[in-house]
Amino acid sequence: MPPFPAWLRQTARGVEIAVRVRPRSGQSRVAGAEGESLTVKLRAPPVEGEANHELLRLMSEILRIPRRDLALVSGLRGRTKRLLVTGATPEQVEARVRRVTDPEA
């Protein structure tokens, strides 16, 4: 089995995703990987938690898991964040993110 991308890692609690958000973008979408983070563009502004809520909604939709299976474990007020996924395996997370970032995969 090949190693996981740098933005994805298995922990004792679940799967962690390293994310770099770009608020106030034209549309909410996963733009792809840059270095050790997954770049996510969000329409929401970084005000009063709106961008965090939009990030969790978008990732729940992309990963096809309930919102309750996602948690923001770091980066509440910054652009660099870590998400904890408890409702999917690392292989599922990678495949579902790859499906939206590389439609030919």
Over residues 39-82, the pLDDT tens digits come to 999 999 999 999 999 999 999 999 999 999 999 999 999 999 99
Please tell me the predicted confidence (pLDDT) of residue 25.
Answer: 95
Over residues 80-95, mean pLDDT? 95
Please tell me the predicted confidence (pLDDT) of residue 104.
Answer: 62
Over residues 1-18, mean pLDDT? 90
- What is the set of domains in the chain, with CATH numbers? 8-101 (3.30.1200.10)
- Quick one: 32 exposed, middle or buried, by C-beta within 10 A (0-12, 13-18, 19+)? middle
Please tell me the predicted confidence (pLDDT) of residue 101.
Answer: 86
Of 64, 77, 89, 92, give the one whose Cα is nearest residue 21.
77
**What is the model's pTM?**
0.92
Residue 105 has pLDDT above 60, yes or no: no
How far, rounded to the nearest angstrom, does the alpha carbon of residue 83 sit from its chain's CA centroid?
A: 6
